[in-house]
Amino acid sequence: MKLDYRFRDPSLAELALTHRSVGRPNNERLEFLGDALLGAIVAEMLYEAHPRASEGELSRLRAQLVNGLALAVLARELELGDGLKLGPGELKSGGHRRDSILADAFEALVAAVYLDGGFPHCRDMVRGLFAQRVADLPKSSKDAKTRLQEWLQARGLPLPVYQLTGSQGDDHAKIFDVACSIAEPAPLQVHASGPSRRAAEQEAAEMVLGHLAAPLPPA
């Protein structure tokens, strides 16, 4: 395992690499904790790296970095597969190469570092592993309204309609409420608020883009 961290309690590292097919104890509880820690630390990195990004854009960027395939790649770089403990069935079927098992082991390992050395060590490890990945994310110079318009135009669909639905607060701190509607590919209307009409429209456009990027529900 090529991890830049030395465990004071090696049993935690061993547990992090023990798949449920072995029985109990296994890494499922560590995986749960590691998932939360990983999401928070990567969110912090993205918040710092993209000061102008909206909540929706930050969420999509995090999803690019923290997903099963991406974490499996990291696990392979750290050679976690070589240390996995698997039951007979998973051993026969090549479980040490399976993306889902590798990704789960990586999340469990994050939690193991946290329990062994505390949050600062865990944070440093995750930031070290993700620093270049965050830096390599594409930085789009186009705002959300432009990207939404181009997405619809590229498919020959009607353009979005923005409507000011209200405002509240004093003149020096007014909040504007906006609705953004699209007719196709499926009727959708979202509502957003912001310190200016333009800011509210941008947030609404980002929300629509988030819906358009989401996978379709099962039939």
C-alpha span between 28 and 123 (Å, rounded): 21
Catalytic annotation, pick one of 31, 57, 90, 107 = 107
Edge-to-edge strand order for the sheet containing 161-168? 161-168, 175-182, 188-194
Tell the burial category of 128 from Cβ atoms under 10 Å away from its Cβ (0-12, 13-18, 19+). exposed
Catalytic annotation, pick one of 35, 57, 90, 104 = 35
Closest Cα partner for 162 from 104, 105, 106, 204? 204
Residue type at 168?
Answer: Q
In the residue annotation, 107 being an active-site residue is answered as yes
Helix H or strand E segment including 185:
none
In the residue annotation, 35 being an active-site residue is answered as yes
What is the distance, to the nearest Å, from the Cα of residue 92 to the centroid of all Cα atoms in its chain?
A: 32
Among all residues, which ones are annotated catalytic? Answer: 35, 107
